[in-house]
Amino acid sequence: MDIERVRKDFPLFQQEKPPIYLDSACQSLRPRQVIDAMNEYYYDFPACGGRSVHRLATEVSIRLDKAREDVASFVGVKDAECVIFTKSATESLNTVAKGLHLKKDDRIVTTDMEHNSNHVPWVLLAKEKGIRRGYLSFQELERGNLEPLKEELEKGVKLLSVVHTNNVDGSSIPLKEMVELAHDHGALVMADGCQYAPHNPLDLADMDVDLYAWSMHKMLGPSGTGILYGKRDVLEKVEPLITGGGGVSITSYDSAELLPVPERFEAGLQNYAGIIGSGAAVRYLQDIGMEEISEHEYRLNTIATEGLKDVRNLSMLGPADPRRKGGIFSFNLKGMLPHDVAMILDEIATVLIRSGMHCVHPYFTSRGLEGTARASFYMYNTEEELRKFIDAVKYLADKFTD
What's the pLDDT score for residue 1? 86
| Residue 357's CATH number | 3.90.1150.10
Q: Is the pLDDT of residue 402 over 90?
A: no
Is 28 inside any structural domain? no
Q: Are residues 368 and 279 in the same domain?
A: no
Span 116-145, average pLDDT: 97
Is 16 inside any structural domain? no
Give the model confidence (pLDDT) of 355-371 as tens digits.
999 999 999 999 999 99
Q: Are residues 214 and 307 in the same domain?
A: no
| Residue 137's CATH number | 3.40.640.10
The rounded mean pLDDT for the chain is 97
What's the pLDDT score for residue 373? 98
What's the pLDDT score for residue 16? 95
Span 40-56, average pLDDT: 95
Span 109-128, average pLDDT: 98
What is the band of 112 on the pLDDT scale with cuts at 50, 70, 90? Answer: very high
What's the pLDDT score for residue 95? 98
The percent of residues above 90 in pLDDT, for the chain, comes to 99
What's the pLDDT score for residue 397? 97
Is 104 inside any structural domain? yes
Q: Are residues 350 and 250 in the same domain?
A: no
Out of 249, 272, 287, a domain closes at 287
Q: Is the pLDDT of residue 77 over 90?
A: yes
Is 168 inside any structural domain? yes
What is the band of 133 on the pLDDT scale with cuts at 50, 70, 90? Answer: very high
What is the count of structural domains for the chain?
A: 2
First to last CA, the chain: 41
Q: Is the pLDDT of residue 121 over 90?
A: yes
Q: Are residues 321 and 333 in the same domain?
A: yes
Strand-pairing partners, residue 331, are 316, 373
The b-or-e profile of 173-205 (16+ CB within 10 A means b, else e) is bbbeebbebbbeeebbbbbbbbbbbbbbebebe
Is 180 inside any structural domain? yes
Is 13 inside any structural domain? no
Give the model confidence (pLDDT) of 282-313 as tens digits.
999 999 999 999 999 999 999 999 999 999 99
What is the band of 253 on the pLDDT scale with cuts at 50, 70, 90? Answer: very high
What is the band of 65 on the pLDDT scale with cuts at 50, 70, 90? Answer: very high
Q: Is the pLDDT of residue 7 over 90?
A: yes
Span 91-116, average pLDDT: 98
Q: Are residues 303 and 269 in the same domain?
A: no
Q: Are residues 186 and 327 in the same domain?
A: no
Q: Are residues 245 and 339 in the same domain?
A: no
Q: Are residues 105 and 225 in the same domain?
A: yes
Is 1 inside any structural domain? no
Which residues does the annotation mark as catalytic?
A: 359
Out of 256, 287, 318, a domain closes at 287
- For 228, other C-beta atoms within 10 Å of its C-beta total 26
Give the model confidence (pLDDT) of 182-214 as tens digits.
999 999 999 999 999 999 999 999 999 999 999
CA–CA gap between residue 395 and residue 392 (Å, rounded): 5
Confirm if 326 and 342 have CB atoms less than 8 A apart.
no
Residue 184, phi then psi, degrees to nearest 5:
-60, -25
What is the band of 393 on the pLDDT scale with cuts at 50, 70, 90? Answer: very high
Q: Are residues 103 and 215 in the same domain?
A: yes
Is 12 inside any structural domain? no
Determine the structural domain holding residue 383 and report its residue range. Answer: 290-400
Q: Are residues 107 and 134 in the same domain?
A: yes
Q: Are residues 315 and 385 in the same domain?
A: yes
Q: Are residues 338 and 352 in the same domain?
A: yes
